[in-house]
Chains A and B, each alone.
Chain A
Amino acid sequence: MKFRIRLPYLLLAPSIIVLLALILYPLGFALRNSFWFWNLQTSPMPLYHSGLDNYRMVFQVTPFTEALKNTVLLAGIGVFAQFWFGMGIALLLYTHLRGMGLFRALLIMPTTLAPVVAGFLFRYLLEPKGGVLTWLLQGIGFPVPPQGFLGNANTALFTIGVVDTWQWTPFFAIVLYAGLLSISEEVLEAALVDGATRWRLFWSISLPLLRPIAAFLVMIRFMQLFNSFDLVYVLTSGGPGTASRTLSFNLYREGLVNYNIGLTAAMTWLVAIIVSIIINLYLFFIYRKREW
């Protein structure tokens, strides 16, 4: 009997041990280094104990608060746009007209791309001279900045959001469509018979029933976009200046370009704390009652 109680934990143990080792090591390593001065360009080992200097420097030397603001803006606005565009497309698919199956299979293609590839697609389209999208937009009289959308401080971050939205709207569309399919048609028909308009049907029945799926998708995507590195790296490298720098890119710059390991370690912990607050708040409010 005792064995039967322990068996599931024994089965879980290998994966948990490997994962804990892969997580705790970096976090512990970073925690220790965050109190040391250590630049890899000058020394292969930490040089001296520097107290909380690294934590102060994160705010003084790197544009940390700007990066945090950019990251939250990018993730918030991006996910909002992806969700509603995706919902619109899901409703188009839900008409079940002929050919929608094929559309759905092809629609997901942007989501299959590596984010770096998606980034290159749009860098090419948005080249200030010779980019087709730039050319098209200029053609219809849209004001394209002379440095291009990616080279302009006011539009760079927004453009990263547009590219991510291009890549991930299909994901929302096909998953929300699957969610719409799982809603019983009888309920919808009954409401129609009772005189509800389609608009009312969507807001009062479909949308509330999609809530659990929507909450899950929004959480996953918000965090993926919050962490996004590849796309930023390829599209703007955080530029121009620091106009589109995100937290992940800020970490990369300090750690793997400037090799300032101590400062990076302090920033790692600040980011880890911010991320765990977001995740836990989310789990607390949305998933309190959900059984997997």
Chain B
Amino acid sequence: MRAPTRSGKILVYALMALVMIFFLGPILWFILLAFRHPSDAYNLPPEFIFEPDLGNFITTFVDPGNNAIQLVNSVVVSTGATLLSLPFALSAAYALSRFAMRGKEFIMNWYISLLIAPPIVFVIPYFILMSWIGWAGSYQAMILTLQTLAIPFSVWLLKSFMDEVPLDLEEAAWVDGANRFAAFYRIIIPLALPGIIVTSMFTFVFSWNNVLFPLVLSKQSTTTLPVGTISFFASTGIYWGHLAATAVVAMLPPMLIFLVLGRYVVRGLTFGAVKG
């Protein structure tokens, strides 16, 4: 495309600066809140320069550190949900990527309809079921029910990565005498490995950020960090400092993963439908 004129460039940069202030400003302001002394949370006019105070992090994660266990829980639940979804998603994605079959489009749409269905519809019956079978408040209750999102998402994204592994390579392996399973393990898995890792990282983030399932299905000792932030809502007011400290820790892993994923972000957020 033709390069913009000088004044056009200035206009674009000015607009972009406004855009960045609007979208990043609130996040930065909240990170600063986590380092403020609790009594300074409402100081106006806003103070940008102040002596950072680690008190909020110490109270929430070290002493008494009630939120430290929630960090562990978040890792357990998100990792568990990701690992459990992989075998189901890998085989389904392979089938959808490699075979011509009747009803393929219907099946793909069926998976996506689960991703856009209202989870609250499922979660209330789960809440009762889990207490009946003695899984109330357990990790496995959260990990299992998160599959309603993790499996359909991973199937879509993995299929888009497997579609890119050339069929020729697989066929060459069959000619060499490998059966389908051997070809799957020796050709598809290694070549689709970057895709599998990207998919796992996204599944991890989406499970990490999910609040509804742990909010309803966890108990105090198994709840996750994003749910933990809600507990600072007290009837006497909001403990902004503590809340911000836990929220900042909760937001770091997804942010870092998105930065690492870079060019795959578009693909992940659109379940593989847009290559980016």
Contact = CB atoms under 8 A, between A and B. Distances in A.
A188 to B, nearest CB: 7
A9 B276 contact: no
Contacts of B259: 105
A141 interface: no
B77 interface: no
A245 interface: no
Contacts of B46: 132, 135
Interface stretch (B55-63, B86-94, B165-173): B86-94
B266 A178 contact: yes
A203 B132 CA distance: 57
Dominant secondary structure at the A interface: helix
B255 A109 contact: yes
A8 B121 contact: no
B10 to A, nearest CB: 10
B219 interface: no
Contact of A22 (B16, B91, B144, B227): B144
A15 B124 contact: no
A255 B124 contact: yes
B23 A110 contact: yes
A264 interface: yes
Interface in B94-122: 94-96, 98-99, 101, 104-105, 107-109, 111, 113-122
B44 A130 contact: yes
Contact of B27 (A27, A113, A220): A113
Contacts of A14: 87-88, 91-92
B216 to A, nearest CB: 6
B234 interface: no
B254 interface: yes
Interface string B3-30: 0100001001101100110111011011
A103 B16 contact: yes
Contacts of A264: 124
B101 A9 contact: yes
B177 interface: no
A251 B16 CA distance: 40
B229 A120 contact: yes
Contacts of B45: 135
Interface in A167-213: 169-171, 174-175, 178-179, 182, 185, 188-189, 192, 213
Interface residues of B, number: 98
Contacts of B24: 106, 109-110
Interface stretch (B65-73, B148-156, B192-200): B148-156
B120 A251 contact: yes
B258 interface: yes
A247 B118 contact: yes
Given A8-B101, A178-B275, A124 B108 contact: no
B16 A92 contact: yes
Interface in A69-100: 89, 92, 94-97, 100
A234 B232 CA distance: 11
B20 to A, nearest CB: 6
A255 B124 CA distance: 7
B182 interface: no
Contacts of B26: 110, 121-122, 125, 166
Contact of A130 (B41, B113, B216): B41
Interface in A10-52: 11-12, 14-16, 18-19, 22-23, 25-27, 29-30, 40
Contacts of A94: 1
B97 to A, nearest CB: 10
**Residue with the greatest number of chain A CB neighbours at <10 A, chosen from B88, B121, B122, B238:** B121
Contacts of A277: none
B152 to A, nearest CB: 7
Interface in A118-165: 120-125, 127, 129-130, 132, 135
Interface of A: 7-9, 11-12, 14-16, 18-19, 22-23, 25-27, 29-30, 40, 89, 92, 94-97, 100, 103, 105-117, 120-125, 127, 129-130, 132, 135, 166, 169-171, 174-175, 178-179, 182, 185, 188-189, 192, 213, 216-217, 219-220, 223-224, 226-227, 229-230, 233-234, 247-248, 251-252, 255-256, 261, 264-265, 268, 271-272, 275-276, 279, 283, 287, 291-292
Interface of B: 1-2, 4, 9, 12-13, 15-16, 19-20, 22-24, 26-27, 29-30, 33, 41-46, 87-89, 91-92, 94-96, 98-99, 101, 104-105, 107-109, 111, 113-122, 124-129, 144-145, 147-148, 151-152, 155, 180, 205, 208-212, 216, 226-227, 229-230, 238, 240, 243-244, 247, 250-251, 254-255, 257-259, 262, 265-266, 269-271, 273-276
10 contacts: A12-B95, A30-B125, A97-B4, A116-B211, A123-B238, A132-B44, A166-B23, A170-B23, A216-B270, A251-B120
Given A22-B122, A227-B117, A272-B121, 14 more contacts: A15-B89, A22-B144, A26-B126, A30-B124, A92-B16, A117-B229, A120-B30, A124-B29, A124-B30, A175-B270, A182-B275, A261-B128, A292-B104, A292-B108
